[in-house]
Chains A and B, each alone.
Chain A
Amino acid sequence: MRYLVALIVTLLASACMAEEWEDQRVFNAAADGPRLRIISSTDTALFAPLIEGFLTQNPDVSVEYLVTGTADLNARVRSAPEAFDVVISSAMDLQLKLANDGFAMPLENMPGSDWAQWHDSLFAFTQEPAAIVINRAAFAGYPVPQTRQELIEALRARPEAFRGKVGTYDIRQSGLGYLFATQDARASETFWRLMEVMGGLDLRLYCCSGDMIDDLTSGSIAVAYNVLGSYATARVEGKEALEVILPSDFQTTMMRTAMVVKNTQYPAVAEAFVRHLIVAGPELAPLPLLTSQQEQETAVITLEPALLTYLDTLKRRKFLTAWEDAVIQK
């Protein structure tokens, strides 16, 4: 009896889990061929053209596209890798750790540059800088900050104007936010000062780039730090209200990566899909796709084992403590 209860509870829990997607869509549902299950952190709208491009080439395949945040995505893949065929995420460190831990299937003879892949199992296909996005209205009559230092000065100059109107990732929840924060911290001490200043202004924390940009557009916040430039640009078109600033002191650029899950049911289809992501032309997505012969930019976070560093439990605990100390000033 007790087992039965336990079973029901687990089933319920997993059923609920199944419901908890940010977005869930099936492409080409009518096809009677294999159904590729893609778990991704990328908004469906931004990614759909890539899937559709793939489906025109493989009309008998259908794709189930499941969207969730980077941290949740990582947890789900770890707990049930057999539930997915392809994993796409912007949190390079979590992806690299998945690959390092053996969740990925190595693929041979893949196109693309060597620096844009790791261990033949993790493949980068976009290159997206972290940006400062501002609502122009809040800076009317004031110079628009171009560096973090200038942003610090701007916030300090008019604290009341910005109180409660500054947003960034809650790095405890967002894998990408954590990646950006750790890379920023590695690059410069300015990051910590900025966090302290922002923390002093009742910083608003977000799970995802999308929400931040929504609030920026609506004017409920004036500045968002470390938003995905690609998301912002995708929305900025036609919206005069926002301005995307790629800080000129230093940039942190992330690569969106894809991997085929080791025990996928459709290795060939999954591999073809990843291949499609690598070779897809820029017309296929609003995302800044990598081109095949591209050189690695210095700002791009390198796919290397060092990405494991900040995922270390002790290191992460220490970093989060420092971050909380700076940001949450009660």
Chain B
Amino acid sequence: MSASPAVSGSLRNRLVLTLIGGAAILALLLFFTVRSYAARVAQQGQDNILGASVTSILDAVALRDGELEVDIPYAAFSMLSTPSDDRVFYAIFQDGELLSGYDDLSATNGRPNGEWVFQSGEVRGETIRQVSASRTLVGLGTRTEVEVALGQTQDALAETLRQISRNAAYLGIGFFTLVAGLSFWATSATIGQLNKLTTSVTRRGPQDLSPFRKPVPREMAPLVSSLNSLMGRLDQSLSQSEDFIAEAAHRVRTPLATVRSYADATLQRVEKEENREALRSMVRAIDESSRAAGQLLDHAMITFRADHLEREEIDLVALVRDLVQRLTPIAEMKDLSLTLVGDPVVIYSGDPILIQNAVRNMVDNALKYAPAESVVEIEVSQGTQAQISVRDQGPGFPPSEIDTLTRRFERGKNAAGTIGSGLGLTIVQDVAKAHGGDLILTNRKGKGACVTLSL
């Protein structure tokens, strides 16, 4: 019955993918930002030390008797010690000419006044960070420019960067895992609300069209309210049609009874066999119609009561015994005897009118399909469930149809020639379902049908 809807994509996957994708992008962003920032800070650190060192060398430059003296302080190179023992290159230039140090470095002829000029380059196959600064010295009649260039390899910096990268990666991964976990949780929490609604829709009885009252998140309120209004309309149109059927059946039944009594009377008066036959068929058709109208009315009533089931404590045995008494005259007309067996008292909480109606239909069938002068046994028992079984000695259900006989208007092959509408077992089944029970049709080993209503 429930056609599976066309599915396009998954809300959960879409949510999870969006969130996780976002988290991944953020994590990468975090990683690169932290790393580049830290790298800048680390490079700044190296630059500052290089700068301080070069400044201390420049400070030690002096003109003595026109002769340039550079008394490099021990601390100038000492402060360049790093855990990775980075190599150090330096050069001192006077007016662009190398005075001492490594000729691998070249003068930049950059800005004077001790301002630091940084550059990265390569010396003896190693990448170095280089700082240059220069100073103008004015002596007696001389004016000379001294430039100091200082380079250092970047092993320690690279090591620091490696550590920073590792930590940044841990940070990124941690962040990602956290957000991924959170997004999974958030997604299932969100989808969980939908699932909750789905379960409460699924759990409902087939007749339950009452609106949903449980609180739902605001975003789902429109859905639930549309659902509620849809069900309201459905409920309304259903009860309208039930009302209509009941009304129609009722209206048809009374005139039919009138027609039937006229037909009967006419039958008495008509002599001609031909006409009598026609009248008999007419009576039969009227009987069929009135039975159908009666059963439709009952069915409508049952449907209504089942929707608003009102349970009360009843003794099933007393109820059935009462019914048997009322049906005994009809049974006797067919030379059938009804016997009631089973537990003396079976207390059950249910709707007596529904149960009575069901049992009447069961006994009615036994009377209709069992041969004359046989026994119909009705048993009321209290096992794990309260049970009412009706067993006859008739031909039993046609085995090929036994599964479909409970459907509406479904009649068996053996029913040809008997008056009926095919609603009897449907009514029994609806009553069973309304009470949370079941209807079981079986054929007995020996002979005869067994109909069990378990509640």
Using CB atoms and an 8 Å cutoff, list the residues of chain A in contact with chain B. 100-102, 114, 117-120, 186, 302-309, 312-315, 318
Cα–Cα distance between A102 and B124 once the two chains are bound (Å)? 8
Chain A residue numbers with a CB within 8 Å of B89 are 100
Known: A100-B88, A119-B87. A305 touches B71 (CB 8 A): no
Which of B70, B75, B84, B87 meets A312, CB within 8 Å?
B70
A306 touching B75, Cβ below 8 Å = yes
Among A117, A307, A309, A314, the residue within 8 A (CB) of B76 is: A309
| Tally of chain B residues near chain A (CB < 8 A) | 27
- Indicate if the CB atoms of A308 and B77 lie closer than 8 Å: yes
Name 11 A/B residue pairs within 8 A (Cβ), A-sorted: A100-B88, A100-B89, A119-B85, A305-B78, A305-B80, A305-B81, A306-B80, A307-B77, A309-B72, A312-B100, A315-B100
Q: Is the C-beta of B439 less than 8 angstroms from some C-beta in chain A? A: no
Which residue among A118, A186, A305, A306 has the maximum number of chain B CB atoms within 10 Å of its CB? A305
Q: Which residues of B contact A101 (CB under 8 A)?
A: 124
CB distance A314 to B81 under 8 Å? Answer: no
Chain B residue contacts of A118, Cβ below 8 A: 85
Of all chain A residues, the one with the shortest Cβ separation from B75 is A306
Check: B69 CB closer than 8 A to any chain A CB.
Answer: yes
In the bound assembly, the distance between CA atoms of A279 and B396 in angstroms comes to 105
Bound complex: CA A309 to CA B73 (Å)? 7
User: Which A residues are in CB contact (< 8 Å) with B81?
Assistant: 302, 304-306
Within 8 A of A (CB), among B54-81: 68-78, 80-81
- A285 nearest CB across to chain B (Å): 26
User: Contact between A315 and B88 (Cβ–Cβ < 8 Å)?
Assistant: no
* A164-B363 Cα distance, complex, nearest whole Å: 148
Q: How far is the CB of A288 from chain B (nearest CB, A)?
A: 24
Tell me whether A315 and B70 are in contact in the complex, defined as CB-CB below 8 angstroms, given that A100-B88, A118-B85 are known contacts: yes
Q: Is the CB of B70 within 8 A of A306?
A: no
Contact A308 B87, beta carbon cutoff 8 Å: no
User: Among B71, B73, B77, B88, which residue has its beta carbon within 8 angstroms of that of A318?
Assistant: B71
Task: Return the CB mask of B96-120 against A: 1 if under 8 Å, else 0.
Answer: 0001110000000000000000000
CA distance A118 to B84 in the complex (A): 8
**Count: A-B pairs, CB below 8 Å:** 68
Which residues in B have their C-beta under 8 angstroms from that of A312? 70, 72, 90, 92, 100-101
CB contacts (< 8 Å) of B69 on chain A: these are 314, 318
Q: Which residues of A contact B70 (CB under 8 A)?
A: 312, 314-315
Which B residues lie within 8 Å of A302 (CB)?
Answer: 81
B330 → A minimal CB distance (Å): 108
B405: shortest Cβ distance to chain A, in Å? 89
Secondary structure dominating the interface of B: mixed
By a CB distance below 8 angstroms, the chain A residues around B99 are: 313-314
B68 / chain A contacts, CB cutoff of 8 Å: 314
Docked-complex contact A315 and B71, CB < 8 angstroms:
yes
Nearest-neighbour CB distance to chain B for A44, whole angstroms, equals 31
- Min C-beta distance of B329 to chain A, whole Å: 112
Q: A100-B88, A102-B124, A304-B81 are in contact. Are A309 and B74 (CB under 8 A)?
A: yes
Inter-chain CA distance A137–B92, complex, in Å, is 51
A305 touches B72 (CB 8 A): no
Per the bound structure, the CA–CA distance linking A36 and B196 in Å amounts to 83
- State how many angstroms separate the Cβ of B83 from the closest Cβ of chain A: 8
**What distance in Å separates the Cβ of B243 from its nearest Cβ neighbour in chain A?**
95
The answer to whether B100 touches A313 (Cβ under 8 A) is: yes
Q: Nearest CB to that of A319 among chain B residues?
A: B71
Residues of chain B within 8 A (CB-CB) of A313 are: 99-101
A307 to chain B, nearest CB (A): 8
User: Given A119-B84, A304-B81, 11 other A-B contacts at CB below 8 A?
Assistant: A102-B87, A302-B81, A303-B85, A305-B78, A305-B86, A305-B88, A306-B77, A308-B77, A312-B90, A312-B92, A312-B101
Beyond A312-B100, A314-B92, A314-B100, whether A304 also contacts B72 by CB under 8 A is no
- Distance in Å: Cβ of B105 to nearest Cβ of chain A: 13
Interface centre among A117, A119, A186, A302 (most CB of B within 10 A): A119
Nearest CB of chain B from residue A162's CB, rounded to whole Å: 32
Q: Return A75 CB to nearest CB of chain B, in Å.
A: 18
In the complex formed, the residue of A with least CB distance to B70 is A314
With most chain A CB atoms within 10 A of its CB, the pick from B68, B72, B75, B81 is B72
Complex Cα distance, B83 from A118, in Å, reads 9
Interfacial chain B residues near A119, Cβ < 8 Å = 84-87
A316 to chain B, nearest CB (A): 9
Q: Is B76's CB under 8 angstroms from A100's CB?
A: no
Docked pose: A304 CA to B90 CA in angstroms: 15
